C-alpha cells in the first residue's frame, strides 16, 4: 500500500520541503558516524536515508507502515538491506537482543503508546546497544501539528527515555542565521493563517478532524514560502544545521540512549 505525499512525509524532490529535508538529512549523516553492525530503522519514510546508512552496517533492516518506491531502487540491490512493512508497536517477529543500533527519526511523536514503543526498541537491542532518536522540539513548534499525538520538551524526552535505558545523551539540532531567517518567515506566514482561528480551535478540536485541513494549509504555506523566497529556501543545506547539547532553541531533539 502506498500513501499520497503529505507534508508529514518529507520529499527530497520537492523544493518546498528543503528546509525540513536538509534537517532530516543531517540526522542520517550524523547517525552514520555512530552506527555499525546490525542496524534497525523504524520509519523508512521516502527512503532517502537508506543509501547513507546501509554502507556503514553489516545488516540493515528498515521498517515502515507504508511501502516506498525506494525498495525498487539501486539502494536495495545491496543484500545487506531488507524492508519490512509493519505497523508498530509491537515489533512483530523481530527477535530480542538482535541489533547493535536502532534509529528512528521523526516517528515517536506519531506513536500513541510511546512507552511500549521504547520498551520494544529496548527488547530488540543487544546489551550495550544504542537508540538514536529524533523528534521535534515542542518549544520551537509554531502551531499545533494534529498529525502528532504529542511533542516533547528537552526534559520530557530525557525523562521518558530514562525509564527504558541506562544512559541518555541529550543533543539537539540547531540552525545558523540562514535557518533562523527562514524560520521567522515561516512563523510570520503561519500567524497570518492562524489569526483567523479566533476561538483557538486548533487546540480545542480533536486532532483527527484537523489533520487534512492542516496538511493542505501546511503544503500551501511551504509552496508560498518557496515562491516568495526561492533563493533562501533552495539554498539551505544540511551544513546550515548543527548538533550540540539540547536546549529550548533547537529545532529537533537528537538523543542517543544506551541499553
Q: For residue 75, what pLDDT band results from cuts at 50, 70 and 90?
A: low
Q: Beta strand 125-136 with 252-258: parallel, antiparallel or unpaired?
A: antiparallel
Q: Which domains are assigned to the chain?
A: 15-258 (3.40.50.150)
Is it the case that residue 5 has pLDDT exceeding 70?
A: no
Q: For residue 1, what pLDDT band results from cuts at 50, 70 and 90?
A: very low
Chain segment 125-145, per-residue pLDDT in tens: 999 999 999 999 999 999 989
Q: For residue 69, what pLDDT band results from cuts at 50, 70 and 90?
A: confident
- Give the span between the Cα atoms of 157 and 2, in whole angstroms: 31
Q: For residue 2, what pLDDT band results from cuts at 50, 70 and 90?
A: very low
Structure confidence at residue 3 (pLDDT): 42
Contact between 100 and 35 (Cβ < 8 Å): yes
What's the whole-number mean pLDDT along residues 154-178? 98
Q: For residue 88, what pLDDT band results from cuts at 50, 70 and 90?
A: very high
- Give the span between the Cα atoms of 250 and 136, in whole angstroms: 9
pTM exceeds 0.85: yes
Contact between 47 and 25 (Cβ < 8 Å): no
Q: For residue 162, what pLDDT band results from cuts at 50, 70 and 90?
A: very high
Structure confidence at residue 4 (pLDDT): 44
Q: For residue 181, what pLDDT band results from cuts at 50, 70 and 90?
A: very high
Structure confidence at residue 68 (pLDDT): 77
DSSP string, 10-47: --SS-GGGHHHHHHHHHHHHHHHTT--SEEEEE--TTS
Nearest to 80 by CA among 125, 27, 38: 38
Contact between 24 and 105 (Cβ < 8 Å): yes
What's the whole-number mean pLDDT along residues 185-207? 88
Is it the case that residue 174 has pLDDT exceeding 90?
A: yes
Amino acid at each position: 500500500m502506498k500513501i499520497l505525499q503529505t507534508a508529514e512525509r518529507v520529499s527530497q524532490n520537492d523544493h518546498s520541503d528543503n528546509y525540513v529535508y536538509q534537517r532530516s538529512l543531517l540526522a542520517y549523516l550524523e547517525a552514520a558516524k555512530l552506527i555499525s553492525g546490525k542496524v534497525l530503522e523504524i520509519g523508512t519514510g521516502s527512503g532517502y536515508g537508506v543509501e547513507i546508512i546501509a554502507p556503514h552496517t553489516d545488516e540493515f533492516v528498515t521498517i515502515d507502515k507504508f511501502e516506498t518506491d525506494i525498495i525498487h531502487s539501486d539502494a536495495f540491490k545491496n543484500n545487506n538491506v531488507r524492508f519490512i512493512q509493519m505497523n508498530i508497536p509491537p515489533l512483530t517477529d523481530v527477535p530480542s537482543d538482535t541489533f547493535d543500533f536502532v534509529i528512528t527519526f521523526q516517528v515517536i511523536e506519531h506513536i500513541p503508546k510511546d512507552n511500549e514503543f521504547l520498551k520494544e526498541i529496548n527488547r530488540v537491542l543487544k546489551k550495550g546497544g544504542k537508540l538514536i532518536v529524533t523528534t521535534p522540539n515542542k518549544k520551537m513548534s509554531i502551531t499545533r501539528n494534529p498529525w502528532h499525538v504529542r511533542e516533547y520538551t528537552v526534559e520530557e524526552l530525557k525523562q521518558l527515555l530514562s525509564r527504558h535505558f541506562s544512559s541518555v545523551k541529550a543533543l539537539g539540532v540547531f540552525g545558523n542565521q540562514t535557518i533562523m531567517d527562514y524560520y521567522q518567515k515561516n512563523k510570520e506566514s503561519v500567524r497570518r493563517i492562524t489569526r483567523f482561528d479566533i476561538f483557538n480551535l486548533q487546540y480545542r478540536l480533536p486532532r483527527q478532524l484537523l489533520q487534512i485541513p492542516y496538511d493542505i494549509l501546511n503544503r500551501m504555506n511551504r509552496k508560498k514560502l518557496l515562491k516568495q523566497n526561492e533563493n533562501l529556501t533552495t539554498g539551505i543545506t544540511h551544513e546550515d544545521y548543527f548538533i550540540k547539547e539540547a536546549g529550548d532553541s533547537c529545532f529537533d531533539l537528537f538523543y542517543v540512549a544506551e541499553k
